[in-house]
Amino acid sequence: MPHFSPVDTPSRKCHNTPMSALPKEKQEPYYTYADYKEWELDEGERFEIIDGEAYAMSAPSTQHQAILGELYTQFHVYLQGKPCKTFPAPLDVRLFYAKDESDDTVVQPDIVIICDKAKIGPEGCRGAPDLVVEILSPSNTAIEMDQKLKLYREAGVREYWVIDGENNSLNVYLFKKDIIVKTYKETDTVAVSILPGLNISLEQVFKEASA
């Protein structure tokens, strides 16, 4: 996951939501999806909004993209002809989707798997994906990752993967009644909990990143 940092205002913010109309308990600036979709960004600029706050995302490294590409390929090949669909970043995920576009959290995980066709909209994912993958960057902090963990669990994500490309390892979080955490090393094969029959070769994933 490219590092993100809070910003006061994204460049050339659309002012279609008057600040005076915002709920008093919200801190300004406060953004919703209605604001977010109107931002005119420079090429390569990416933002997430979490609880109404905007975060700028840095560009991913080549290692990051190699890991993403190989893992996405393994997911995509397996899911051909099956109900679930996988999408790589950038894809807007509106975790707490609201039809009136008042939802205030839009994230861009590295990879998502969505098994409910009703959640796939023209603009991205409407609601929680079934599986989310984030690939760490050196600048990511423990606070950021803890925030994302809580956010995905609250939204209803079923399975959450955090890949550490520096240490060639993977943590898998299964959100059941309690959080089940499984740790894998680079030579392991990982059975995908939400997709029985799919086994991911981490050796191949990390091999592509080091080639």
pLDDT digit string, tens, across residues 176-210: 989 999 999 999 999 999 999 999 999 999 998 88
Q: Over 70: is that where the pLDDT of 11 sits?
A: no
pLDDT digit string, tens, across residues 41-79: 888 899 999 999 999 988 899 999 999 999 999 999 999
Closest Cα to residue 147, out of 51, 30, 70?
A: 51
For 10, 29, 32, 133, 153, the CA distances from 111, given in Å and listed in that order, are 24, 29, 23, 5, 16
**Tell me, what's the pLDDT at 22?**
34
Q: Is the peptide bond before 90 cis (omega within 30 degrees of 0)?
A: yes
The number of residues making up the chain comes to 211
SS3 162: strand
The beta-strand segments (E) located in 15-144 are: 46-50, 53-57, 85-88, 92-94, 106-107, 111-114, 120-121, 124-126, 131-135
pTM (2 d.p.): 0.87
**Tell me, what's the pLDDT at 43?**
86
Which of 137 and 199 is assigned the larger pLDDT?
A: 199
